[in-house]
Amino acid sequence: MAPVAVVVGAPGAGKTTIGGLVAELLGAPFVDIDAVIEAEAGKPIPEIFFDDGEDAFRLLERTAIASTLSDFSGVLALGGGAILNEGTRDLLKQHTVVYLSVELSDAVKRVGLGAGRPLLAMNPRATLKYLLDQRRPLYASVATHTVATDNREPADIAAEVAALLKLV
């Protein structure tokens, strides 16, 4: 069993929104890995970051991703930093991965001032630019398909992704 697709991208790319819409279009279940982590930890992601630290969160994330990749057959959205882990990137090479690309201006509009996003708590615009620059090559390295999201409606992006997945 394997996911129909794994959706990756930076904060503000639309992973949860687009992933959910793609799942609907394909008649498949949808899971956001952050929801899995929160359920397993019993608390929201910001609390995990602040109470336990980023390293503890990343360990929970890696474990949840590995487990879900092996036993979930729908559309799976990963958190923006999930691809930082080499083991996770290696696992993703065995799956259909859709990279939702986003440029800084659209990402800033979508995430606002980072409410509920621990890594964007301080200087969100500069931090987001740094994250985009740092992670773009990693997203591209695991991508089966890359879909630009800038200046586009979620329904249009989801339709493009669903069409790409039906060709795989």
Q: Give the domain CATH number at 134.
A: 3.40.50.300
Residues 143 and 98 sit within 8 Å (Cβ to Cβ) = yes
Give the per-residue pLDDT at 128: 74
Does the pLDDT of residue 103 top 80, yes or no? no
Work out the pLDDT band at 121, boundaries 50, 70, 90.
low
| Spatial distance between the Cα atoms of 104 and 94, rounded to a whole number of angstroms | 29
Could you list the residue range(s) of the whole structural domain that residue 140 is in? 5-167
Number of domains in the chain: 1
DSSP 8-class letter at 78: P
Work out the pLDDT band at 117, boundaries 50, 70, 90.
low
Between 55-64, 86-95, 106-115, the lowest mean confidence (pLDDT) is in 106-115
What's the whole-model pTM score?
0.88
Work out the pLDDT band at 11, boundaries 50, 70, 90.
confident
Kind plus residue range of the DSSP H or E element containing 165: helix 154-167
Work out the pLDDT band at 130, boundaries 50, 70, 90.
confident
How far is C-alpha 72 from the chain's CA centre? 16
| Spatial distance between the Cα atoms of 124 and 7, rounded to a whole number of angstroms | 23
